[in-house]
Amino acid sequence: MAPSKRQAVLIGVNHCGNNVQMPALKFAESDVQALRRVLLDEDNGTFQDGDVALFTGVKATSKSIKAHLRDIAVESEPSDVLLVYFAGHALVPDWSDQLDAYLVTADLDPESLRREPESGLRMSFLKRDVFEAFAGTSFLVLDCCQAGIYADADRRHAAAMQTYRTHVDRHSALLACPRGAVARESEEYGHGVLTHHVLRALRGAAADELKRVSFADMAAFVAAQGMEPPPSQWVTTWGPTTVLTQPPVSRHERLALNAPAKPGTTRPCKNPLDDQSNSIMQLLGRMFRAENRPSHHSQQGDQTERVELLRYALDAESVAVAEFVGTDCKTVSATPRFDRELLQPMLDLAAVEAGRYRTTMPGHIISHGPRRRMLCVPVSHSDERVVALVVVDPALAQLDMGEPLAVMLRAVWESDLFGDPVEAEMIVLTALRTAYGRLPAMLYDYAFSLYRQLVSSMTMVFQPVVELGLRAAGVSIHSFEALARRNERESRAPLPALRMAYDWGDRFIVERDALLAARAIHSYAEADGVAQWQGTKPLSVNVAVRSLLSDAYLHQVTKALAEARLSPRTLTLEISEQDEIIPGPGELWCQKPLVYFHHRLTALTRDLHINFAVDDFGVGHASLARMAELRLTQIKVDREILHHPLAVDELALVARVARYASDQGHAPSPRTVIVEGYDEEAPVSLQQIYDLGIHHVQGYFSGAPASGSLHPLDAAVQERIAALARGEQ
Reported as a single tens digit per residue, the pLDDT across 581-632 is 888 877 888 888 888 888 888 888 888 898 988 776 655 544 555 565 566 7
DSSP run (H or E) holding 140? strand 137-143
Written as one string, the DSSP assignment of 522-544 is: HHHHHHHTT-SSSS---EEEEE-
CA dist 5 and 397 (Å) reads: 13
**Which sign does the torsion angle of CA 366, 244, 223, 272 carry?**
negative
Contacts of 342 (CB under 8 A, 6+ apart): 260, 261
pLDDT of residue 511: 95
Amino acid residing at 614: V
pLDDT tier for residue 166 given thresholds of 50, 70 and 90: very low
pLDDT of residue 249: 57
What mean pLDDT is predicted for residues 390-398? 88
pLDDT of residue 267: 60
CA dist 694 and 658 (Å) reads: 10
pLDDT of residue 257: 41
What mean pLDDT is predicted for residues 486-506? 90
- Identify the CATH number of the domain defined by range 265-436: 3.30.450
Summarize pLDDT for 321-364 with one digit per residue, the tens. 998 887 788 888 999 999 888 888 888 888 887 767 666 677 88
pLDDT tier for residue 164 given thresholds of 50, 70 and 90: very low
> Biggest alpha carbon distance in the chain?
110
pLDDT of residue 262: 46
Quick check: 485 pLDDT over 90? Answer: yes
Quick check: 208 pLDDT over 60? Answer: yes
Quick check: 209 pLDDT over 50? Answer: yes
CA dist 438 and 436 (Å) reads: 6
Quick check: 161 pLDDT over 50? Answer: no
CA dist 297 and 448 (Å) reads: 30
- Of residues 658 and 239, the one with the higher pLDDT is 658
pLDDT of residue 641: 83
Read off the DSSP letter of residue 22: S
What mean pLDDT is predicted for residues 250-263? 47
Summarize pLDDT for 271-313 with one digit per residue, the tens. 557 778 888 988 999 899 877 677 765 544 477 888 999 999 9
Task: Give bridge partners of residue 376 from the DSSP assignment.
Answer: 364, 390
DSSP run (H or E) holding 191? strand 191-192
- Phi, psi dihedrals of residue 235, rounded to the nearest 5°: -130, 120
CA dist 433 and 425 (Å) reads: 12
Three-state DSSP at 324 gives: strand
| Residue 618, CA distances (Å) to 510, 576, 598, 635, 638 in order | 24, 10, 20, 11, 6
pLDDT of residue 650: 85
Provide the CATH topology of domain 460-726.
TIM Barrel (3.20.20)
Bond preceding residue 229 cis, omega within 30 of 0? yes
CA dist 334 and 303 (Å) reads: 8
Q: Where are the chain's structural domains?
A: 6-249, 265-436, 460-726
CA dist 7 and 711 (Å) reads: 66
Summarize pLDDT for 145-154 with one digit per residue, the tens. 999 988 876 5
Half-sphere exposure of 717 (CA within 13 A, CB side): 16
Contacts of 670 (CB under 8 A, 6+ apart): 658, 659, 661, 662
Q: How do beta strands 185-186 and 191-192 pair?
A: antiparallel
pLDDT of residue 728: 87
CA dist 151 and 173 (Å) reads: 9
What mean pLDDT is predicted for residues 26-36? 95
Average pLDDT, the chain: 84
Task: Give bridge partners of residue 464 from the DSSP assignment.
Answer: 480
- Of residues 664 and 637, the one with the higher pLDDT is 637
What mean pLDDT is predicted for residues 239-251? 75
Summarize pLDDT for 38-60 with one digit per residue, the tens. 999 988 899 998 999 999 999 99
- Of residues 242 and 12, the one with the higher pLDDT is 12
CA dist 83 and 141 (Å) reads: 8
What mean pLDDT is predicted for residues 516-539? 89
CA dist 485 and 690 (Å) reads: 31
- Identify the CATH number of the domain defined by range 6-249: 3.40.50.1460
End-to-end CA distance of the chain: 67
Three-state DSSP at 244 gives: strand
pLDDT of residue 40: 94
pLDDT of residue 569: 93
**Percent of the chain residues past pLDDT 70, beyond the cut:** 87
Helices within 437-505 (DSSP H only): 441-456, 495-499, 501-504
What mean pLDDT is predicted for residues 474-482? 92
Read off the DSSP letter of residue 25: P
DSSP run (H or E) holding 560? helix 551-564
Summarize pLDDT for 71-118 with one digit per residue, the tens. 999 999 888 999 999 999 998 887 766 578 999 999 888 888 888 888
Amino acid residing at 481: E
What mean pLDDT is predicted for residues 363-369? 79
What mean pLDDT is predicted for residues 451-466? 94
- Of residues 140 and 233, the one with the higher pLDDT is 140
Read off the DSSP letter of residue 201: I
Three-state DSSP at 357 gives: helix
**Percent of the chain residues past pLDDT 90, beyond the cut:** 43
**Nearest CA to 432 among 467, 452, 455, 403?**
403
Q: Do the Cβ atoms of 510 and 553 come closer than 8 Å?
A: yes
Contacts of 30 (CB under 8 A, 6+ apart): 12, 190, 191
- Of residues 465 and 577, the one with the higher pLDDT is 465
Bond preceding residue 583 cis, omega within 30 of 0? no
